[in-house]
Amino acid sequence: MAHNYRTDLWVDWCPGCGDFGILAALQQSMTEMNKKPEDFAIFSGIGCSAKTPHYINAPGMHTLHGRVIPFASGVKLANPNLTVIADGGDGDLLSIGAGHFVAAGRRNVDMTIIIHNNGVYGLTKGQASPTLARGEKTKGLQRPNILDSLNPVALALTVGYTFVARAFSFDVKNTKDIIMKAVKHRGTSVIDLLQPCPTYNDINTKEWYEQRVYYLDKDPSWDPVVKEATSEASEQKYLQAIQKSLEWGDKIPLGVLYQNDLVPSFGDRIADHITNYFEVPPALSPIINSEGQPVARMEKIFTDRLIKR
Amino acid sequence: MPLVDIDLIIGGPQGGGIDSAAQIVIRAFSIAGYEAFGIREYYSNIKGRHSYFHVRVKETPVRSLRYPVDLLVCLDAESPFVHMEDVSDKTIVLYDEDLMNTKIEQVLTMESETKKHVLDKLKEGGFGTTIAGTIDFMKKRGAIPYPVSFRNLVVGALGPNKPPARYANTLGASLAMALMGLPAEFTSRGIESVFGKKKEVLEDNEKIVKSGYEFVKSHNNLNIKELPVREAKERYILTGNEAIGIGKVIGGLKLQTYYPITPAADESFFLEGHDYFEPVMGEDIDKENEVLKNASVVVVQAEDEIAAIAMAISGAMTGTRTATGTSGPGFSLMAEALGYAGINEVPVVVTLYQRGGPSTGLPTRNSQADLMFAINAGHGEFARIVYSSGDVPEAIDDAVRVFNYAEKFQVPVIHILDKNFANSFFLVDPLDYSKIKIERWKLSENTENFERFKLTEDGISPMGMFGKNIIWLTGDEHSELGHITEDPETRDAMMVKRMGKLNTILKEIPEDEQVELIGDKNADVTLLSWGSNTGVILSVFEKLRTEGVKANLVYVKLMNPFPSKLVSKYLSTAKVLIDLENNYTAQLATLVKQNCGIEVKNFILKYNGRHTTDDEVYEGIKRVLDKKENRVVMIRGA
């Protein structure tokens, strides 16, 4: 019998929350990936979206505000055999955790980051998040937002993410398909997941998005995948994605915006030097030998500190 | 009395090979069968500012330094100014005579505050304000000047085309060792041991050694006697940073994360240089499994200390021995994640090298002022172990131990060290593996509903791991399964479970690993101390014994949970009790008062960032015993 990826907890998001669609898409994609539940590690930061791992019947880690990326990276580094997915809010990943978001683009650890993008800090009553446009006054705000918004897709592209996509949580099937592609990509994939907050964001609502989103892959000429390991090839796809990332307002593109499978993942870069890294990763490497003694020996490893006579 | 007991300082510009000079000295003496110990003092600077190595050589084991020194080797213009008070009767002062007329104003590397302090002392004694003036100052203290033209010697040895500054360190070391009476052969072997067997380098250095020794031979107004060669043992030369790295690797470290910070980064840098190696797997496995022929430690430079500890924490939850290394500013950033490791009972090791604070403070200088912070960092209450080591040999064992503690008790462990320890050089015997034991967590069969936080009598649940069990972790209060709960009864039970581990820890860690009583049971004076001061205190005890004063040391290693009963027992019989630490507020004494109800009334403290030396500890004890002073502040060191 297939593993049931739902836990029996009551899901305590508000009725109509965009997070439900992301949860359903995640659970469906995990079922379709046909792995053992122990092969997954699901991470989250803090906030509404952060409860996601508790609702998924697979190993999960609900971490600290802003720190979901380094927590997720640590498990992947120690055991690269695991499939790692990190869920974070827009405030979590792009404000308090923005430094990690930038660093992750450079590191390219083989994992998937899902930005639950709703423009507000929901669990603390609707303050503006980094993706809310300047001048907007959602109902939780005293005055219109005085900070400019940032563009998660453009930011991800410029700091080196090798897979950048956008999805809309009310289209569960498409979200699931994007998650499947993102997980399959060898390197860090990021999904800007548009996820209305029905309680605090009365501007970017389900209906607001439904009138604007369109699917890039409906256009047969759209091809986001870098085909050659040359700077010209990646630059052309990169510029095309940057241009698409600027489309916001009347039309909002969904789908894979950029994909470059030719950049070595962080694990591959480690394995250049530690050649058996994937076969004997840190988590599976013995530390005691058959005689109960440490396998690492001072006289074998640290001979350069022995005074030669 | 030992035949040989020589203290020397080699001072010069940062980046000018002072390290190599000290390495040559320590290695050469080791090869000749002597014991040596040294500490490096330096500015937060890459090139130019004054740094120095303080080294002591003896026939018997040595782990402390003292002033005044027997030999002062000045490789730059600043050395005579800043070390002029480190000399006394019979100190040989080796300096570059070409710099004789350098005025203090011309020494651009010197800080204006230091210049002023030196100027005041020179003027007060009626001395000139040039290097010649400092030489007169030192002569008045009984020191013996030994002028050498570095330039002439280098040009004489290598011709005019080699830059003299590049050879100042090997020349300085050669002259120093000739003055100490070490046969030239050992100096050459010391140089070879440091620089390797590259032909051109060796040839040049050999000429330098020869010219240094010939100079001393032809200017032997000091009646130098050649030192006897002793039977040499096989030794490793290790810094504190390296000892911790070695202990971690032997203990099974597989993932080390860090963000660059002094004085912690040297450990991770050292690990990066030793991260792929041949393990000793035992007969069967060797034959069976080709892929296990190499083992590794993955060392990751994170984007900041928050990421470093986050990666180490989650990595540990895969069953991997993980650690991160840092110093005060980085540890401050780790505080929130430390609480996460606490509530999730994660076996992670944080190696904390203390340096002068607060804020950036004295980034390259010593301190023991983060003890209270290590014990209290993070909001809320949770079980953690804070464990201290004081010297290189014990640190190797302790680095294995702290992993065992972390996994056995499933708590974060802060291994607290200090800069003096990190930058001290020890000669270490090959490791005795019979003392090394690796102990790991309690495991259980994988079950349908794995309770990673199962309530147990001793507070310790079966270890659940990513990749093996379906577990949930959360920074929120949680159920036995690891799901969020705010249920008051579960909260109470989880608090009792976690905090109750502190008793389990005190019960299960052997007493001699918690605190040691070293020295006479029936002592006239009892010292209370921790960390890198131990060696100094025990060295001073030897001197006190010759004067008929019996002393002992209560040396605390387990700082949290605090071994109150044991410490109370050891302190209760003290006739005169003195707390000695490198901080302003006497933090260990505060811990003792808090946990044992014993009020320490005498203190010898130091917080100027420089290493503690025998002479000032001796003087401090005397001032407490004879002059009834109750707070002595040690102020030595340039």
Q: Give the tens place of pLDDT for each residue, B484-493.
A: 999 999 999 9
Q: Is the pLDDT of residue A258 over 80?
A: yes
| pLDDT given at position B222 | 85
Q: Give CA–CA dist B484/B477, Å, rounded.
A: 6
Among candidates A274, A291, A297 on the partner chain, residue whose Cβ is nearest the Cβ of B298? A274
Q: Is the ipTM of this complex over 0.85?
A: yes
Task: Fill in the amino acid letter for B353.
Answer: Y
Cβ distance A309 to B232 less than 8 Å, yes or no, reads yes
Closest CA to A86 of B322, B311, B308: B311
**Residue B548: φ, ψ to 5°:** 85, 10
Note the pLDDT of residue B282: 77
| Rounded Cα distance, B312 and B306, in Å | 10
3-state SS assignment for residue A183? helix
State whether B433 and A293 contact (CB < 8 Å): yes
Identify the CA nearest to B265 among candidates B299, B229, B307: B299
In this prediction, residues A157-186 reach a mean pLDDT of 98
Residue B549 CA, distance from chain mean position: 29
How far is it, in rounded angstroms, from Cα B566 to Cα B510?
11
Which of A77, A81, A93, A107 would you mutate first to test chain B, the one with the most B CBs within 10 A?
A77
CB-CB: which of B322, B340, B474 is closest to A78?
Answer: B322
Does A1 have pLDDT greater than 80?
Answer: no
Name all domains of chain A by residue range, CATH numbers in brackets: 19-271 (3.40.50.970)
Cβ separation of B31 and A309 shorter than 8 Å?
yes
Residue to mutate among A273, A301, A303, A304, with most B CBs inside 10 A, is A301
The model's pTM: 0.98
pLDDT at position B281:
86
Query: DSSP label at A201?
Result: -
Say whether B470 and A59 touch across the interface (CB within 8 A).
yes
Query: B240-250 vs B265-272: helix axis angle to the nearest 10?
Result: 50
CA distance B441 to B406: 9
Q: B473 and A60 in contact by Cβ < 8 A?
A: yes
N- to C-terminal Cα separation, chain A: 67
- Residues of chain A found within 8 Å of residue B465, distances taken between Cβ atoms: 283
Contacts of A291 in chain B (CB under 8 A): 282
Interface test with A, best of B303, B404, B469 (most A CBs within 10 A): B303
Q: Cβ(A300)–Cβ(A306) under 8 Å?
A: no
Among candidates B375, B421, B377, which has minimal Cα distance to B590? B375
Cα–Cα distance for residue pair A268/A77, rounded to 1 Å: 11
User: Which residue carries 């996820």 as its tokens?
Assistant: A195
Please answer yes or no on whether A299 and B311 come within 8 Å at the CB atom: no
> Does the pLDDT at position A126 exceed 60?
yes
B622-628 own/partner pairs: CB under 8 Å, 24+ apart: B624/B525, B624/B576, B624/B578, B625/B524, B625/B525, B625/B549, B625/B576
Helix (H, G, I), strand (E, B) or coil at B213: helix
CA distance B595 to chain A (A): 32
Residue carrying structure tokens 């005169």: B576
> pLDDT value at position A41?
98
Q: Which domains does chain B have, with CATH numbers?
A: 5-218 (3.40.920.10), 237-435 (3.40.50.970), 511-633 (3.40.50.920)
DSSP B219: T
Q: Are A74 and B322 in contact, with CB atoms under 8 Å apart?
A: yes
> Does B314 contact A at CB distance below 8 Å?
yes
Please give the full DSSP string across B462-488, using - where no structure is assigned: PPP-TTTS--EEESS-B-TTS-B---H
pLDDT along chain B (638 residues), means of 10: 87 93 96 97 95 97 97 97 96 97 97 97 97 98 97 95 92 96 96 89 93 94 90 95 98 98 98 96 70 93 98 98 98 98 98 98 98 98 98 97 98 98 97 93 81 96 96 98 98 98 98 97 96 97 96 98 98 97 98 98 98 98 97 97
Rounded to 10°, the helix B335-343/B305-316 angle is 10
Residues B361-370 pLDDT 10s: 999 999 999 9
pLDDT score of B471: 97
Compute CA distances B599 → A207, B383, B595, whole Å. 70, 26, 10
